[in-house]
Structure 1
Amino acid sequence: MYRPARRPLGVAGVAVAAALLLAGCDSGSGGNEEKTSASTSAAPTAEPETLEALGKAVGCEGAPKEAGKTLDFRQGVCKSADGAQYVLLTFDTDDGQRGWLDTAQLYGGVYLVGKRWVLSADPRSAMEAARAELGGTIEDPDAKTN
């Protein structure tokens, strides 16, 4: 029987896993692959945000702690005064952002997506509130589409 070689997780895989763990996201899909459902919202910001600007917009206490930097994105984590935990990412390219999202959504989770930035929050209501401040679209790969 053929068994494909296992590849170790690369930097992007580790970043995805860390983002999902820090955000408290779980797949909840039981292995079922479903299409991504994006909710309608305000238009995303025209310019890419910085981790610091994203953190300030969602009410983080202090600057986000940088949790990783690759050639194409920066990742930070922070906690707001009301106890919400955020994973914040900024991307250098649109393609890099879409590639990261496509990979991350294989593991489940819900993301607020703007122009070259993504965030996730626990609890989800904090992320939905952040949309009022930042714009963007909430992408939920576990949402059922008709």
Structure 2
Amino acid sequence: MPQQPQPGRTSRTRPTTRLIRGAALAASLALLPLATACSGGTDDAAMNSDPSKISAAPAAGVVAPAKVEVIAQLTGCKPKIRIEADELRQGLCHTPKVDYLITTFPEEKYKQTWLESAAIYGGKYLVGSRWIVSAKEPKMLEEFRSKLGGTIQQLRGIGPTPAPKAS
């Protein structure tokens, strides 16, 4: 026998239930762009990279590719956006341990151009799918790598190289 509504009660859902449903809907809509950005397609960097050099950081699925703010949050800072252009976005993170830059690119080709340009300066960079992290203290890149994934690339630079330090 079907249950009859009790007198004095309407068949409307409770406010708490509506809030929970609304929160679940908002959360799923917030994650939708990240899920669709990580499509099954491959790009040149993925085909040319050595799988043994790529770490599987737990958060790497969220990072590749991502916004400056997402990467900054994973590394523990709130970035100050320095560059907002069609080719890239760059944010500065300042923490008690280290200052570092997070650069994201709308396409892989812009990342490759940036790396080629940075090669004249040399240095170490943490490189991921359409993002790069550069730090004043290169040793911090290993810590970031465990959170973000990617590979650490040493760019040679031009000019004389410093003499080896005496041990």
The verdict on a shared fold, with TM-score over 0.5 as the criterion, is: yes
2:139 maps to what in 1?
Answer: 125
Most deviating of 131-140 and 116-125: 116-125
Alignment of 1:1-146 (within 5 A): 40-43=53-56, 45=60, 47-60=64-77, 63-80=78-95, 82-142=96-156
Give 1:40 shift: 2.1
Task: Give the letter for the 1:121 counterpart.
Answer: A
Task: Give the letter for the 1:41 counterpart.
Answer: I
Give 1:52 shift: 0.7
Task: State the number of aligned residues.
Answer: 102
Larger relative contact order (C-alpha < 8 A, sep ≥ 6)?
1
1:32 maps to what in 2?
Answer: none
Runs of 4+ with deviation above 2 angstroms: 43-47
Structure 1 portions without partners, runs of 5+: 1-38
Task: Give the letter for the 1:83 counterpart.
Answer: K
Task: Give the letter for the 2:84 counterpart.
Answer: K
Larger helix percent: 2
1:24 maps to what in 2?
Answer: none
- Higher Cα Rg, which structure: 2
Deviations 1:86-118 (A, max 9, x none): 111000000011011111111112110000000
Structure 2 portions without partners, runs of 5+: 1-51, 158-167
Query: How far apart, CA to CA, are the structure 2 residues paired with 1:54 and 1:104?
Result: 21
Larger strand percent: 1
Q: TM-score, normalised by structure 2?
A: 0.56
2:162 maps to what in 1?
Answer: none
Query: How far apart, CA to CA, are the structure 2 residues paired with 1:88 and 1:97?
Result: 12
What SS does the aligned partner of 1:110 have? Answer: strand
Task: Give the letter for the 1:77 counterpart.
Answer: L
Q: TM-score, normalised by structure 1?
A: 0.63
Query: How far apart, CA to CA, are the structure 1 residues paired with 2:143 and 2:135?
Result: 10
Query: How far apart, CA to CA, are the structure 1 residues paired with 2:84 and 2:151?
Result: 24
**What RMSD in Å do the two structures reach over aligned CA positions?**
2.1
Give 1:43 shift: 5.0
Most deviating of 104-113 and 86-95: 104-113
Identity %: 35
